[in-house]
Copies of this chain bind each other. A is one copy, B any other.
Amino acid sequence: MKKELYQTPWNFLGLPEDVSTPSSRGWLLPVPYEATTSYGAGTREGPAAILTASRQVELYDAELDGEPAMEYGICTPPPLNLVHRSPEAMIQSVEEAVADLLSGDPRPEVLGILGGEHSISAGGVRGLARVIDAASLVVVHVDAHSDMRDEYEESRYSHACAARRILETCPIFQIGIRNLSSGEAAFLRGCRSVRTVFSEEATDPQGRFLRDLAKFVRKKQVYFTVDLDGLDPSIMPSVGTPEPGGISWERMLEIARTVCSNAARVPAFDVVELAPIPGFRAPDFLAAKLVYKLFSYSLVGNGKANSKRSSRHG
């Protein structure tokens, strides 16, 4: 079989086989799980849509002036098996897979996860906590919703409880919040381990909260979770509850740079809740580009691009 006649295999970014192997520094695990969504079904088709779109993303990154993925490599394992015994069982399965992957040999330096619904993030955080010094762990959380309910539709593992479950493991810095219940508002007022940056502050051109964010992550190991509905619906309509008034593409990148250039490490992140709209590809493409940026910022994090930028919000 003459290799040159064929396209590259099915993996994130369509990388050549030799830079998408178990010894790649980045791994990207699809978790097409959806079971507790209330409205706007379809997040289970998010990972496939992001992978498809990623094959059109140019490898060359002008900001970093190179093709970073060709250097660090990204491995795309097959999707995690679904478990529908209960939402808790699925979270448990994610936890096990993440802990297994991050302690395996070879193992990724940075593990990305593609949702699927937001509830899986609790599994990701717990899995990470099992393999690092848990005291050094913090979570940065981009979202339109606070996700601080203790229970929703009789499940403690609903997508609407994602952040509350994470909080049982470590502190959280939330950005972009513009939809919460009165119960969540009351909870947040009394809770010291969450810092919530509401959307008005998050979209302010000055971006003063970025200093606090830099401080929050300094010397920490960060799990970075991006619920795509944190972005503005004008650029990201493909989510279940597209709340007006969200984060722009440029601000999203500023947040990511701030996290990656100030933290000790970002060993894991997830990008969740893409519910692709048939025929409407722009959001899938944006999500794919964001995932690539997150790998590059976290894996080339102490390189020139980021060190230059880190002085900005340092």
- Chain B residues within 8 Å of A86, by CB: 85-88, 155
Contact of A1 (CB < 8 Å), options: B44, B66, B100? B100
A79-101 interface with B by 8 A CB criterion: 79-89, 93, 96-97, 100-101
A61 nearest CB across to chain B (Å): 9
Kindly report which residue of chain B lies nearest to residue A181, judged by CB atoms. Answer: B60
- Chain B residues within 8 Å of A9, by CB: 78
Chain A 52-90 near chain B by CB (<8 Å), digits 1 or 0: 100110111010011100000000011111111111110
Cα A235 to Cα B245 in complex, Å, equals: 10
B7 pairs with A84, CB closer than 8 A? no
B77 pairs with A6, CB closer than 8 A? yes
Is A303 interfacial (CB 8 A cutoff)? no
Supposing A181-B60, A198-B62, A241-B56 touch, asked if A80 and B6 sit within 8 A by C-beta, the answer is yes
A284 nearest CB across to chain B (Å): 9
A252-284 interface with B by 8 A CB criterion: 277-282
What is the interface residue range for chain A against chain B?
Answer: 35 or more
Supposing A41-B42, A58-B181, A241-B56 touch, asked if A78 and B10 sit within 8 A by C-beta, the answer is yes
- Chain B residues within 8 Å of A250, by CB: 245
B42 pairs with A42, CB closer than 8 A? yes
Chain A 4-48 near chain B by CB (<8 Å), digits 1 or 0: 111111100000000000100000000000111111111011001
Is A2 interfacial (CB 8 A cutoff)? yes
Supposing A38-B56, A235-B233, A235-B234 touch, asked if A5 and B96 sit within 8 A by C-beta, the answer is yes
- Report A's interface with B, CB cutoff 8 A: 1-2, 4-10, 22, 34-42, 44-45, 48, 52, 55-56, 58-60, 62, 65-67, 77-89, 93, 96-97, 100-101, 104, 152-158, 178-182, 184-185, 198, 232-235, 237, 240-245, 249-250, 277-282, 285-286, 289
